[in-house]
Amino acid sequence: MQNLLSEGLTLMVFGMGFVFVFLTLLVFTTRGMSALVTKYAPDAAPAAAPKPAAKPAVAPAGNNDELIAVMTAAVHKFRS
C-alpha cells in the first residue's frame, strides 16, 4: 500500500516534470523556428505560388462558406 502511494508520488513528480521540460523545450524551439522562418522563409512569394497550382478538385468548404457569406450579403443589400 505504501508502495501505491510512492508510485503515485513518483508519477506526479516525473509526470509534471516531464510536461514542463517538454513544453519548455517547445517554447524555445518554437521561438527559434519562428525566427528562422521569418528570416529565411517569409510568406510572400513561396506561399502564394503553390496555392493556385493545387487543383481544387472540389470546392473546399471554406471557400464555399465564404462565397455564401458574400452572396448573402449581396442578397441582403439587394433586398433592402
Partner 1 sequence: MDKLLELWQASGIYNMQFGQLTMIIVGLLLLFLAIRKNFEPLLLVPIGFGGIMANIPEAGLAFSAVENAVHFAQPEVMQAMAKALGLVSTDPHEVLHAYHGASAAAHDAAVNVAQDSGYNNGMLYNFYTVAIASGAAPLLIFMGVGAMTDFGPLLANPKTLFLGAAAQFGIFATVLGAVTLSMLGIMDFSIQDAAAIGIIGGADGPTAIYVASMLAPQLLGAIAVAAYSYMALVPMIQPPIMRALTTEAERKISMVQLRHISKNEKIMFPILLLILVALLLPDAAPLLGMFCFGNLMRECGVVDRLSDTAQNALINIVTIFLGLSVGSKLSADKFLDVQTLGILILGVVAFGIGTACGVMMAKFMNRMEGGNAINPLIGSAGVSAVPMAARVSNKLGLEANPQNFLLMHAMGPNVAGVIGSAVAAGVMIKFVG
What is the binding site for partner 1 (CB under 8 A)? Answer: 1-2, 4-5, 7-12, 14-16, 18-27, 29-31, 33-34, 37-38, 41-43, 46-47, 50-51, 53-54, 56-58, 60-62
Q: What is the C-alpha separation between 61 and 66, in angstroms, rounded?
A: 9
- Per rule CB under 8 A, is residue 26 in the interface with a copy of itself? no
3-state secondary structure of 49: coil
66 binds, among a copy of itself, partner 1, none (CB under 5 to 8 A by kind): none
Q: Which positions ≥6 away from 59 have C-beta within 8 Å?
A: 67
Contacts 24+ apart (CB under 8 A), 31-34: none
Among 4-12, 23-31, 32-40, 65-73, the segment contacting a copy of itself (CB under 8 A):
65-73
